[in-house]
Chain A
Amino acid sequence: MSSAAAHGHDEPHVTSLQVYLGIFGALLVLTVLTVYVSAAELFHGWTSIGVAMGIAIVKASLVATIFMHMKWDRKFNVIVFLSSLWFAGLFFTFTWFDLSNRTRVHDIQQHNLPTLERQAAEAESADAKPAAVEEPAHEAKTPAKAGKGKAGKGKAGKH
């Protein structure tokens, strides 16, 4: 039905008045439901967000499919629009990883503080003899050691 309508040329799909009014009625019922669920305090925290978003998604789907005529629109337009939800989902998910792991990163830094301090001290002692790194003519150091000094300096410079 919908695929045939999508290829129709001149005659647009006309939705009946009853369908429009029925959808509007359903949207009102769902609005009352979401207010009731909240006022009666049936759920709390994440569960309450989940239930409220579930009802909102049903409402949004009704508006999109019937009022916005997505059901009778070209499939390509539907894919284009739904792609926005996909990209918004990616955005939420990866930002969520960051949000929910920030404290863990902080803990790991605290845990490794002695190591970091030792590395900083090593870098500082390497900086104390800059001539060894700056002047290649000075042959007192082996190439391996000079490289280490450079790496340490680079790290210290980051802070």
Chain B
Amino acid sequence: MSTEHAEDHEHPSYLAHHFHTVQQQVDAAKLGMWLFLVTEVLFFSGLFMAYIAVRTWYPEMFLDTSYQLDWKLGAVNTIVLLFSSLTVALAVREAQLADPKNPQTGKMVGYIAVTILCAMGFLLVKYIEYSAKIDHGFVPGFLFTGEGLLDNAHLFFGVYFCMTGLHGIHVVLGIGVLTWIGIRASRGDFHKRYHVPLENAGLYWHLVDLIWIFLFPLLYLVK
């Protein structure tokens, strides 16, 4: 396609036309990813602020209502996400070790597949939790029909569903991103010289884990 490029200088297939070197391309991609993660942190910070407000205004209600959440399911999901964070880090490690001429994709794709399975497991547990809450009418705002809780308990569920819901949407999107990355990995796109898409997908997945690390004690372990 780009015949004007001299034959003597390195121009691998994965180097985009508008970059001089692979290193420059990788640096730009990673800076962009970190900037995106900044916007994600700020995106979630609004919900954390809502949490602080509701918990400050209604401490007794917050404590009482938090017992409606099953900390065991929350703990299971925490471990599932931590494990998926490990496997995606190991997938990146496989890419870092892969030979560019003949990349071994088996383990790399395997680790990505395990990460996707963990994400689905997380959503399954979340589904079980959500349906139990909805059955009891423990839903946000004017839809709240639950009984036996203190006044303003609907505010707790507003915070709970918004925070875990936005996080859950990120898990769903993560499954999509990791599937795409897994397909590319199986094609042999990623190896020692170039694996920044896999690395960036990993960074996104780690951020999903980071958010959950804070959500779990804040929602399930209130004392």
Write the residues of chain A forming the contact surface with B, with a CB cutoff of 8 angstroms: 9-15, 17, 20-21, 23-24, 27-28, 31, 34-35, 37-39, 41, 43-45, 48-49, 52-53, 55-56, 59-60, 63-64, 66-69, 73-74, 76-77, 80-81, 83-85, 87-88, 91-92, 95-96, 99-100
- A20 near B89: Cβ-Cβ < 8 Å: yes
List 6 additional A-B contacts (Cβ < 8 Å) besides A12-B192, A41-B223, A92-B48: A20-B86, A24-B82, A45-B59, A56-B213, A60-B213, A63-B210
A139 to chain B, nearest CB (A): 57
Complex-state Cα separation, A95 to B82, whole angstroms: 32
A12 to chain B, nearest CB (A): 5
Also in contact, A43 and B217, with CB within 8 A (given A28-B79, A81-B37, A92-B49): no
Contacting residue for B214 out of A37, A56, A69, CB 8 A? A56
9 contacts between A and B (CB under 8 A): A28-B82, A38-B217, A52-B218, A60-B210, A67-B206, A69-B92, A73-B30, A80-B38, A81-B38
**Neighbouring A residues of B223 by C-beta, 8 Å:** 38, 41, 43-45, 48
**Neighbouring A residues of B216 by C-beta, 8 Å:** 34, 56
- B45 near A88: Cβ-Cβ < 8 Å: yes
Q: Is the interface of A mostly helix, strand, loop or mixed?
A: helix
Q: Which of B170-223 contact A (CB under 8 A)?
A: 192-193, 195, 199, 202-203, 206, 209-210, 213-214, 216-218, 221-223
Q: How large is the interface on B (under 10, 10 to 19, 20 to 34, 35 or more residues)?
A: 35 or more
- B210 near A52: Cβ-Cβ < 8 Å: no
Write the residues of chain B forming the contact surface with A, with a CB cutoff of 8 angstroms: 23, 27, 30-31, 34-35, 37-39, 41-42, 45, 48-49, 52-53, 56-57, 59, 71, 75, 78-79, 82-83, 85-86, 89-90, 92-93, 96-97, 192-193, 195, 199, 202-203, 206, 209-210, 213-214, 216-218, 221-223
**Neighbouring B residues of A60 by C-beta, 8 Å:** 210, 213-214
- A10 near B86: Cβ-Cβ < 8 Å: no
- A96 near B52: Cβ-Cβ < 8 Å: yes
Contacting residue for B210 out of A35, A64, A76, A96, CB 8 A? A64
**Neighbouring B residues of A64 by C-beta, 8 Å:** 206, 210
- B217 near A53: Cβ-Cβ < 8 Å: yes
Complex-state Cα separation, A10 to B23, whole angstroms: 8
Complex-state Cα separation, A158 to B172, whole angstroms: 49
Also in contact, A63 and B34, with CB within 8 A (given A38-B217, A87-B42, A96-B52): no
